[in-house]
């Protein structure tokens, strides 16, 4: 049994942190991603003139002499596949091009019709990330996150458009409203939010002429010589009727026509008419059924398209539909299918031509493009897999390959995040920035994969992924994701009798709960892990749990108990020769000693931690100890010593490339200079902190330090 040391050392000084917050649901689905820029304009957008004429005035600025109340929230509603997102993006691009939103747009897909819809708590984290608030500057509790989000929007002078896509319940978006009438909100949903003060625009299927125009344009965009629409107007109208005038079905049908050129439109009409399977797949009814029960025959269109796929493309679609998350990278799809990257990419490009999958523009780049499957297409493909035992086993084998790929890459990324100078260089990721970039891109899929792996057959992979994601989730402060990951791993390990895995799950769950402000639950989790380590006779694991329990006890306002737990942990680590873990315990013991007023002992403990870190070459750990020692000296009124210690911490943080830590230390140093009446040095330190935060890709923190510097001009 190995042990976890994540979260053992603190760089935040002797502060006891925030108190516990009322518990929220401990487990949720994959994390969303928000964008501070609009997704690309929808290709081939056709029709919707009336809807645009109604929507655009709601987004336009109100003339100064107009006393009418503004429309703050607009909702586009209608069945799946009817083009709500496309219309929202078309309107948003037109509004931004007209200069109506100088503050730009924020976009987040709430995946309201997935098995695990995005919660408002998840969405606010994604939106804060898009606004530049991330890492250690991110508030730990949901209350603090919402307060920060609303404060940022309230302080945002330029009008901003917030697009909340795929909402299934008002609870997903109501907490995300800006709280000011300066900005505008655009929601898309299959439901009708009749009980809310929302300007609702219901989308019906396209008019017959618009459907014909959509298919015609799609064919002519591919080949301006394609004269089939002109030669077969009746067949084209019949095809539009068979597609129910649903944009998604029309796009897929147009793709089939492009690929079977020059065969007649009438031949596709005959193929679709032969397909009469209306098997329920989604929302309790046939795919494409609206709220009135009218079948829009999307399934026959999908079935016809699927049957015409070559075997390799058909297999790829089935397996891609099973992938965790919403967007999947090419390398992951290669692992999922067991193909080489270039072969997988070629199949994906061919499949994209059918409109059954979509390349997500603006993500991944040429090195690793990402791919999206519409939820109705995903439902169809998973239904195909579920109907045949041989395809189900094919899917399980693909899942194991994909999980193995995720475990390998997450392991390499975690090794890079934990790497110290002088150790062997980890493979795959050349530096910390590249490891973080990959984890950021794959976070949604990785969190989903831990739950995807929670079945007994893959439980060991669920535990491994949870271990390899811990450092990253803590560093980025994605505590809800961490709770989800740890809970899934713990439960999987418990079901399969994996005592070590269960210990790891409880340990990481305790760490995540403490960081999330749910301190009492964290203490309970660490006690459960402590019991497991004792039952297994695992002294090293017991030492880790005493230390983690001590940190939670301190946050809970029980410093005397924390001191006792730290002393137990330190003694066990000393007995086993775990020098780095012993240094962590000296460092954290000092925080508890300071909390009870034992300042001299706290200073001595920080010095012992610093010296141990230096003895083993952990210069980053030494930098943390120097920073904490400076905070303690500062609180004790030993200003000169504190300034010297901050300087030492800064040197080591810069050496390690920890620019976020350097920003924190420089901010602390600026505070000392300001408090001692030296505004010139305070301003210089704030400016240096802003520069360090910029290098750490932390714009919100950089802006705050720049603002503090400006006040000292």
Residue at 533 is within a domain? no
* Alpha carbon distance 236, 515 (integer Å): 59
Domain-terminating residue out of 368, 387, 406: 387
568, 572, 575, 580: CA torsion to nearest 10: -110
Q: What is the pLDDT of residue 291?
A: 41
Q: What is the pLDDT of residue 366?
A: 63
DSSP codes, 80-114: TTSSHHHHHHHHHHHHHHTTS-TT-EEEEE--TTS
Q: Token pair 């820029």 is at which residue?
A: 37
| Residue 159 and residue 101 in contact, taking contact as beta carbons nearer than 8 Å | yes
Residue at 151 is within a domain? yes
Q: Return the CATH number at 79.
A: 3.40.50.300
Mean pLDDT of 286-290: 43
Domain-terminating residue out of 153, 176, 202: 202
The total number of residues written for the chain in this structure: 713
DSSP codes, 263-283: S-HHHHHHHHHH-----EEET
| pLDDT, tens only, 604-652 | 999 999 999 999 888 888 988 999 999 999 988 999 999 999 999 999 8
Q: For residue 239, what are its two tokens?
A: 């095809």
* Alpha carbon distance 446, 546 (integer Å): 29
Q: Domain of 235? A: 208-307
Residues 275 and 131 in one domain: no
What band does 180 get if pLDDT is binned at 50, 70 and 90?
confident
Least confident of 164-168, 195-199, 302-306: 195-199
Mean pLDDT of 214-220: 93
| Residue 100 and residue 159 in contact, taking contact as beta carbons nearer than 8 Å | yes
Q: What is the pLDDT of residue 53?
A: 94
pTM of the model: 0.74
Mean pLDDT of 41-47: 83
Q: Is 12 exposed, middle or buried (0-12, 13-18, 19+ CB in 10 A)?
A: middle
Residues 47 and 190 in one domain: yes
- Integer-rounded Cα Rg, in Å, for the chain is 28
| Residue 107 and residue 30 in contact, taking contact as beta carbons nearer than 8 Å | no
Q: Which of 15, 606, 80, 705 is nearest to 375 (CA)?
A: 80
Residue at 505 is within a domain? no
Q: Which of 457, 294, 281, 471 is nearest to 376 (CA)?
A: 281
Q: Please determine, for residue 321, whether its predicted confidence score (pLDDT) is greater than 80.
A: yes
Element (H or E) spanning 327, and its range?
Answer: strand 327-329
Q: What are the respective helix, strand and coil percentages of the chain, to the nearest 5?
A: 60, 5, 35
Q: What is the pLDDT of residue 654?
A: 86
Q: Please determine, for residue 197, whether its predicted confidence score (pLDDT) is greater than 50.
A: yes
| pLDDT, tens only, 339-386 | 999 999 999 999 988 888 988 876 555 678 899 888 888 888 998 999
Q: Please determine, for residue 583, whether its predicted confidence score (pLDDT) is greater than 90.
A: yes
What does pLDDT average to over the chain?
86
* Alpha carbon distance 45, 41 (integer Å): 9
What band does 698 get if pLDDT is binned at 50, 70 and 90?
confident
Residues 61 and 197 in one domain: yes
Mean pLDDT of 494-505: 93
Domain-terminating residue out of 256, 276, 307: 307
Q: What is the pLDDT of residue 326?
A: 78
Residue at 631 is within a domain? no
Give Dmax (Cα) for the chain. Answer: 92
Q: Please determine, for residue 420, whether its predicted confidence score (pLDDT) is greater than 80.
A: no
Q: Please determine, for residue 290, whether its predicted confidence score (pLDDT) is greater than 70.
A: no
Residue at 460 is within a domain? no
Residues 195 and 94 in one domain: yes
| pLDDT, tens only, 247-258 | 988 999 999 999
What band does 486 get if pLDDT is binned at 50, 70 and 90?
very high
Residues 116 and 212 in one domain: no
Q: Please determine, for residue 292, whether its predicted confidence score (pLDDT) is greater than 70.
A: no
Q: What is the pLDDT of residue 499?
A: 93
Q: Which of 240, 429, 219, 396 is nearest to 319 (CA)?
A: 396
Residue at 288 is within a domain? yes
Mean pLDDT of 546-562: 95
* Alpha carbon distance 590, 631 (integer Å): 11
Domain count, the chain: 3
Residues 84 and 171 in one domain: yes
| Residue 256 and residue 215 in contact, taking contact as beta carbons nearer than 8 Å | no
364 vs 88 pLDDT, higher one: 88
In 10 A of CB 41, how many CB atoms? Answer: 14
Residues 158 and 63 in one domain: yes
Q: What is the pLDDT of residue 519?
A: 94
Q: Which of 569, 564, 521, 514 is nearest to 541 (CA)?
A: 569
Residue at 401 is within a domain? no
Q: Is 650 exposed, middle or buried (0-12, 13-18, 19+ CB in 10 A)?
A: buried
Q: Please determine, for residue 118, whether its predicted confidence score (pLDDT) is greater than 80.
A: yes
The strand order across the sheet containing 161-167 reads 34-35, 105-109, 161-167, 184-189, 73-77, 199-202
Residues 278 and 318 in one domain: no
Q: Please determine, for residue 285, whether its predicted confidence score (pLDDT) is greater than 90.
A: no
* Alpha carbon distance 117, 115 (integer Å): 6
- The pair phi, psi for residue 198, each rounded to 5°, is -130, 140
Residues 114 and 231 in one domain: no
Q: What is the pLDDT of residue 8?
A: 37
| pLDDT, tens only, 433-485 | 899 999 998 998 899 899 888 788 899 999 999 999 999 998 887 888 999 99
Residues 182 and 270 in one domain: no
Residues 315 and 367 in one domain: yes
Residue at 332 is within a domain? yes
Q: Please determine, for residue 167, whether its predicted confidence score (pLDDT) is greater than 80.
A: yes
Share of the chain above pLDDT 70, in %: 90
Residues 256 and 149 in one domain: no
Q: What is the pLDDT of residue 68?
A: 65
């Amino acid at each position: 049994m190995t042990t976890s040391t994540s979260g053992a050392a603190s760089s935040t000084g002797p502060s006891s942190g925030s108190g516990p917050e009322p518990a929220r649901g401990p487990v949720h689905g994959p994390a969303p991603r928000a964008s501070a820029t609009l997704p690309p304009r929808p290709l081939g957008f056709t029709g919707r003139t009336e809807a645009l004429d109604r929507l655009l005035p709601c987004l336009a600025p109100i003339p100064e002499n107009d006393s009418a109340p503004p429309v703050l929230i607009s909702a586009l509603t209608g069945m799946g596949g009817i083009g709500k997102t496309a219309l929202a993006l078309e309107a948003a691009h037109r509004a931004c091009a007209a200069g109506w939103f100088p503050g730009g747009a924020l976009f987040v897909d709430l995946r309201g019709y997935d098995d695990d819809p995005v919660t408002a708590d998840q969405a606010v984290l994604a939106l804060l990330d898009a606004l530049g608030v991330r890492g250690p500057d991110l508030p730990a509790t949901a209350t603090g996150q919402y307060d920060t989000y609303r404060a940022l929007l309230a302080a945002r002078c330029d009008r901003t458009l917030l697009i909340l896509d795929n909402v299934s319940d008002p609870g997903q978006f109501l907490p995300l409203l800006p709280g000011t009438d300066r900005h505008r909100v655009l929601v898309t949903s299959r439901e009708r939010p009749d009980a809310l003060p929302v300007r609702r625009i219901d989308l019906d299927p396209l008019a017959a002429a618009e459907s014909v125009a959509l298919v015609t344009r799609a064919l002519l965009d591919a080949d301006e010589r394609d004269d089939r629409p002109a030669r077969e107007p009746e067949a084209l109208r019949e095809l539009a009727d068979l597609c129910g005038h649903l944009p998604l079905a029309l796009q897929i049908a147009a793709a089939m026509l492009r690929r079977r050129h020059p065969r007649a439109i009438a031949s596709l009409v005959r193929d679709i008419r032969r397909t009469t399977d209306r098997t329920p797949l989604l929302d309790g009814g046939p795919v494409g059924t609206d709220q009135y029960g009218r079948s829009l025959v999307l399934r026959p269109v999908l079935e016809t398209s699927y049957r015409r796929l070559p075997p390799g493309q058909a297999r790829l679609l089935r397996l891609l539909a099973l992938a965790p998350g919403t967007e999947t990278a090419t390398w992951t799809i290669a692992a999922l299918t067991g193909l080489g990257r270039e072969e997988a990419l070629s199949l994906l490009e061919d499949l994209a031509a059918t409109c059954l999958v979509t390349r997500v523009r603006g993500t991944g780049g040429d090195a690793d493009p990402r791919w999206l499957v519409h939820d109705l297409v995903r439902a169809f493909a998973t239904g195909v897999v579920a109907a045949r035992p041989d395809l189900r086993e094919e899917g399980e084998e693909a899942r194991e390959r994909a999980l193995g790929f995720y475990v390998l890459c997450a392991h390499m990324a975690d090794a890079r995040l934990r790497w110290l100078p002088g150790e062997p260089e980890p493979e795959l990721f050349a530096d910390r920035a590249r490891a973080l970039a990959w984890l950021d891109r794959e976070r949604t899929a990785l969190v989903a994969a831990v739950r995807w792996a929670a079945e007994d057959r893959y439980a060991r992979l669920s535990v491994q992924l949870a271990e390899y994601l811990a450092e990253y989730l803590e560093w980025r402060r994605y505590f809800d994701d961490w709770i989800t990951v740890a809970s899934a791993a713990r439960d999987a390990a418990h079901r399969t009798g994996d005592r070590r895995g269960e210990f790891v799950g409880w340990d990481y769950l305790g760490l995540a709960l403490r960081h999330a402000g749910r301190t009492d639950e964290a203490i309970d989790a660490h006690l459960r892990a402590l019991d497991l380590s004792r039952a297994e006779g695992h002294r090293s694991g017991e030492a880790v749990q005493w230390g983690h329990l001590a940190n939670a006890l301190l946050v809970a306002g029980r410093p005397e108990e924390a001191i006792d737990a730290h002393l137990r942990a330190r003694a066990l680590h000393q007995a086993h020769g775990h020098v780095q873990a012993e240094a962590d315990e000296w460092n954290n013991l000092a925080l508890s000693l300071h909390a009870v007023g034992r300042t001299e002992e706290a200073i001595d403990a920080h010095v012992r931690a610093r010296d141990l870190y230096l003895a083993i070459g952990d210069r980053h750990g030494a930098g943390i100890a120097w920073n904490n020692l400076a905070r303690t000296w500062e609180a004790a009124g030993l200003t000169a010593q504190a300034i010297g210690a901050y300087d030492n911490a800064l040197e080591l943080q810069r050496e390690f490339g920890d620019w976020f830590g350097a920003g924190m230390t420089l901010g602390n140093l600026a505070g000392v200079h300001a408090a001692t009446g030296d505004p010139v040095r305070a301003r210089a330190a704030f400016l240096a902190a802003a520069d360090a935060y910029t290098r750490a890709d932390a714009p919100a923190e950089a802006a705050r330090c720049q603002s503090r510097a400006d006040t000292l001009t």
